[in-house]
Amino acid sequence: MEIYPLKFRPIFKERLWGGTKLQTVLKKGVSGDRVGESWEISGVPGDGTVLSNGPYAGKSLPELIEMDPEGLLGSRVLDRFGREFPILIKFIDARLDLSIQLHPGDTLARKRHNSFGKTEMWYIMDADPGAQLIIGFKEDVSREAYQEALDAGKLPQLLHYQNVSPGDAYFINSGKIHAIGGGILLAEIQQSSDVTYRVYDFNRRDEDGNLRELHTELALDAIDYERREDFILDYSAEPNKVNEVASSPYFTTRYLKLDRDMERSFNGDAFTIYLCTSGEATLTAGDTAVYFRAGETLMLPAACRHLHLATRKCELLEVTV
């Protein structure tokens, strides 16, 4: 497989709660006032992103994996996940509050849905004044107390509300109840899963006037009812350094704030993904240089052992598995 930085065409998803910041802030080539998600790099069946640059342009991520599994994914990724692409990269624009929801862990998701579970992290890129996330319960609750509050329409009273600012980062374990609040634009790094258990939706109706489906029974065995102080990612933002933000069995994320060029070296056993959250940069791998800017994402095949990052000013998230 020829080595160069891979740029994919995003898949845009309209959502009841979506807005316009993907277009106005991230300058995405999308129209409409309810586009909530930009799937940047995806191997989800039926939603594999398609390469837009270089000699393999037009091929989907699953097709690229079949061409050269080890060269693209890396031996360490193949050993753990086979040829399933293990993560999903998104930008999310919440004009309105998302539903209150959670995701099952690996064991339950595989048993019920033949899917990965969904552990994820969020990096806040833009937030309106007063914007908040819901992350977990404000104190431990029993299953019975949860059910009682849900039945009474009072679930929001049990939950923890977190004020946010750009640059904040949060880790959402599977089973943790959560919701993205209105006015927030964020980058999401997650296991490759689209399994969501929606438990409370503020009695909203879709465009056809119907209440959206809830998954209250499925959620009961998946919820973590304990209050855990495990969601705030307190990381260093030292300039021109590689700063670890999150480390988990599913992905590792690092933060780079650069005002000069940087060289990166890799051992060749896993792919690397870069999300540009501000500024712009040019990434050179092999004989190919690719420019990207805030709101864009690039993937380096595992076979890439060296990268040159050229920039005057940018902020990047670097993701590996």
pLDDT, tens digit, 9 for 90 and up, residues 119-139? 999 999 999 999 999 999 999
Evaluate if residue 204 carries a pLDDT over 90. Answer: no
* pLDDT of res. 247: 97
Positive or negative: CA dihedral 101, 103, 104, 105:
negative
Residue in 145, 154, 160, 142 with CA at minimum distance from that of residue 226:
142
pTM above 0.75, yes or no: yes
The amino acid occupying position 296 is: E
DSSP letter for 54, please: S
Q: What CA–CA distances, in Å, run from 126 to 30, 94, 185?
A: 18, 10, 5
Q: In whole angstroms, what is the distance from residue 280 CA to residue 25 CA?
A: 14
Burial (CB count within 10 angstroms: exposed 0-12, middle 13-18, buried 19+), residue 166:
middle
What φ, ψ does residue 24 adopt, rounded to 5°?
Answer: -80, -35
All structural domains of the chain: 8-220 (2.60.120.10), 243-320 (2.60.120.10)
pLDDT, tens digit, 9 for 90 and up, residues 23-64? 999 999 998 999 999 999 999 999 999 999 999 999 999 999
* pLDDT of res. 132: 98
* CB 130 within 8 Å of CB 182: no
Evaluate if residue 207 carries a pLDDT over 80. Answer: no
Q: What CA–CA distances, in Å, run from 261 to 66, 264, 299, 305, 308?
A: 34, 10, 19, 17, 7
* pLDDT of res. 299: 98
Active site residues: 198
Burial (CB count within 10 angstroms: exposed 0-12, middle 13-18, buried 19+), residue 234:
exposed
The two structure tokens encoding residue 100: 């209150």
* CB 227 within 8 Å of CB 160: yes
Confidence of residue 170 (pLDDT cuts 50, 70, 90): very high
Lowest mean pLDDT among 1-5, 27-31, 58-62, 208-212: 208-212
* CB 318 within 8 Å of CB 253: yes
pLDDT mean over 66-88: 97
Q: How many CB atoms lie within 10 A of CB 112?
A: 13
| Cα of 208 vs its chain's centroid, Å | 29
Lowest mean pLDDT among 204-208, 226-230, 237-241: 204-208
Higher-confidence residue of 194 and 134: namely: 134
Evaluate if residue 303 carries a pLDDT over 90. Answer: yes
Q: What CA–CA distances, in Å, run from 250 to 134, 261, 277, 319?
A: 22, 29, 21, 10
pLDDT mean over 200-217: 87
Evaluate if residue 144 carries a pLDDT over 80. Answer: yes
pLDDT, tens digit, 9 for 90 and up, residues 269-287? 999 999 999 999 999 998 9
